[in-house]
Amino acid sequence: MATKAKVAIERRFGLDRETLLKLYRTMVAARRTDDKEIQLKRQNKIFFQISGAGHEAVQVAIAQHLRPGSDWFYLYYRDRALTLALGMTPYDHLLQAVAAAADPSSGGRQMPSHWGHRDLRIVSTSSPTGTQFLQAVGCAEAGWRASLLDGMRAAIEEFRDDEVVLVTTGDGTTSEGEFWEALNTACNLKLPVIFLVEDNGYAISVPVEVNTAGGKISKLVTGFPNLYIEEVDGCDVLASYEAAGRAVAHARERKGPALLHAHVIRPYSHSMSDDERMYKPDQERAQEAERDPLVTYRAFLIEEGIAKAEELDALEQEVAAEVQEAADRALEQPQPAKDTATLYLYSPDVDPTAEQFDTEDDPRFDGEETTMVDLLNACLRDEMERDPRIVVFGEDVADASREAVLEECKGKGGVFKVTWGLQRRFGGTRVFNSPLAEANIVGRAIGMATRGLKPVVEIQFFDYIWPAMMQIRDELATMRYRSANAWSSPVVIRVAYGGYLKGGAIYHSQTGEALFTHTPGLRVVMPSNAVDANGLLRTAIRCDDPVIFLEHKHLYRQVYNKGRYPGPNFMIPFGKAKVVREGSDVTVVTCGAVVKRSLDAAKVAAERGIDVEVIDLRSLNPLDMETIAASVRKTNKVIVAHEDALSWGIGSEIAARIADELFPWLDGPVKRVASLDTWVAYSPELEDVILPNAEDVLRAIEELHAF
């Protein structure tokens, strides 16, 4: 008898009876909440359901080693038991299921099982699989970098030096490239990230051996340095508790990241839109049922004398009643008011179109005229001096990753030299190079921004922004909206943009700003000259929204758009276009490199008796329709000229708005001048005919004037 008692104590790993029963209670609460949602879906009282059934054991086990409100959590949709163990309630979950305005995760904006809780540091979960990995790495990286600099640490939310970041996933999502990018950076920087892989053997209907070479992710990742790897039966609560404890300790001790590969089951279908009987035979489903953690853990509690069957029956009935009561209350809660549909697309507190960002009329000019590159660099320098939260990173942006060589070398500072000298001035903790991976840059930046840092990142060429598109559109642009303002990611993405390069060709001349202006939640800016670039970048950094800052490569060092340094507080508000040439006959609305071409066309048109007004938009989203409208009411004829392809470009949107809002003042059709609907070719002669030039704008001016 004494031996049996000793074995029982050893098997509990120091967990007392109260804790062991609490773990079971949480597991039961998670399963009963799943069951209640399934019932509500069948009654058409909720609109979607996806369960965490079969994953409960490892989730409640790892939660015992974590500190909600101190550690950070990037979860996925099967983590119901984990969120309950961290402090959420079945009522919280059911509020989301019924799309109630009071839903603490999203205010009724996301489907069920998309967790979020500001106080518990559960960062808003989204549907795209795998986007959470890089954000978790960025979150951990923010804490690490802040721990190295007192000024940065004091400027962000308080944290403990041994905090960890937990990121969870199913096995199927480890096929995403961002999983490997995240492991690469986490291991390279020895970041305290714990990757919990909840492997239930399937990605919807696709079995693990199809998703993962060899069928075992923990075996594939053994080559990563500093990565602690554990494999465990995720249906066994106590084995999971022991393995998770070692993984968390490895991260807390700053030995590097950890990967916990937990083998779990999925007793329910992927979601209620799926029927697992179509691809899982009865024998396999029966074998999984034998491993059900609720069944096996209940049996353990009884066999070890921790609780009697009657006690557990009573506990289960009590939980079922609590879940029923939570469901009844949730169903009574109102839906979000219709007038909140666009609330929290942008910061409700910091408006970059407001007067506080308008110091354009009071520049403090100093020094000689210089280029756009130089004034962008000066703005970054000023802002980094002002705000210790700012970090600058991307491909080649540092002077030199190997800082010792700076005694002998001038330093890189970006392929266009926009960030030159910043690393020397502010150090490698704040200015650093990234891997050659655009999603890595943006995903990490999002994670850093949720921690309170202000990342200003560089995508080296617009042509290569596309690997980051998932992070930009589905994560960066939605973070504030989908969390009902609980979380935000005010990242500035600087992008070298456009053609007119003589040799840029297909992959160094691309445009496509409409893809970003079409994305709710993003600010999109395109300066045409050095002074505007300085003022708009300062606004981008000081505002609290994500900004796509388009820097035209052709304009970086042009003589005609040089300007003097306007001072460290010079700002131009977003949504404020500029009339760069006044006229009375025809309006040309333009932006970027086409501003100069439009001015050249207007000069020739004036010699031919046509007085042209030219508007530089500067900001594409928000768009200054007031300035456009004032001009159209004066000239009654308007052309929209832009560099991107003619079809589906921003010219189409602006023309449509003019037609909708200003039709009574039009004396002719709204004309567009833009690139041909093709790619920019390498041949200078082809490039010249593809891109819009002054001659194209002039032709449109004369045709419209004669209408």
**Residue pLDDT, tens place only, 385-441:** 999 999 999 999 999 999 889 889 999 999 999 999 999 999 999 999 999 999 999
**Residue pLDDT, tens place only, 122-161:** 999 999 989 999 999 999 999 999 999 999 999 999 999 9
Confidence of residue 10 (pLDDT cuts 50, 70, 90): low
Give residue 681's identity as a one-letter amino acid code: A
Here the tokens at position 578 are 């500029």
Predicted local distance difference test score (pLDDT) of residue 1: 34
Give residue 473's identity as a one-letter amino acid code: R
Helices (DSSP H) in 14-172: which residue ranges? 17-42, 56-63, 80-86, 90-97, 131-148, 150-155
Here the tokens at position 570 are 């010079």
CA–CA separation, 615 vs 528, rounded Å? 11
On the 0-12 / 13-18 / 19+ scale of CB atoms within 10 A, 278 is: exposed
**Across the chain, what does the average pLDDT equal?**
96
Helices (DSSP H) in 190-308: which residue ranges? 208-211, 217-220, 237-252, 282-290, 293-303
554 classed as catalytic: no
- Tokens 């189409």 locate to 652
Confidence of residue 274 (pLDDT cuts 50, 70, 90): confident
- Tokens 């905090």 locate to 163
Percent of the chain whose predicted confidence (pLDDT) is above 70 = 98
**Residue pLDDT, tens place only, 593-605:** 999 999 999 999 9
CA–CA separation, 482 vs 116, rounded Å? 10
103 has a pLDDT exceeding 50:
yes
191 has a pLDDT exceeding 80:
yes
Q: Collapse the DSSP code of 391 into the 3-class scheme (helix H, G, I; strand E, B; otherwise coil) and give the result.
A: strand
What is this structure's pTM? Answer: 0.96
Provide the strand spans (E) within 558-694.
563-565, 578-581, 586-590, 612-616, 619-621, 638-645, 671-675
Q: Which helix (H) or strand (E) holds 628?
A: helix 625-635
Confidence of residue 549 (pLDDT cuts 50, 70, 90): very high
7 has a pLDDT exceeding 50:
no
Catalytic residue, from 261, 508, 552, 705: name it. 508
CA–CA separation, 250 vs 378, rounded Å? 42
On the 0-12 / 13-18 / 19+ scale of CB atoms within 10 A, 32 is: buried
- Give the pLDDT mean for 195-203: 94
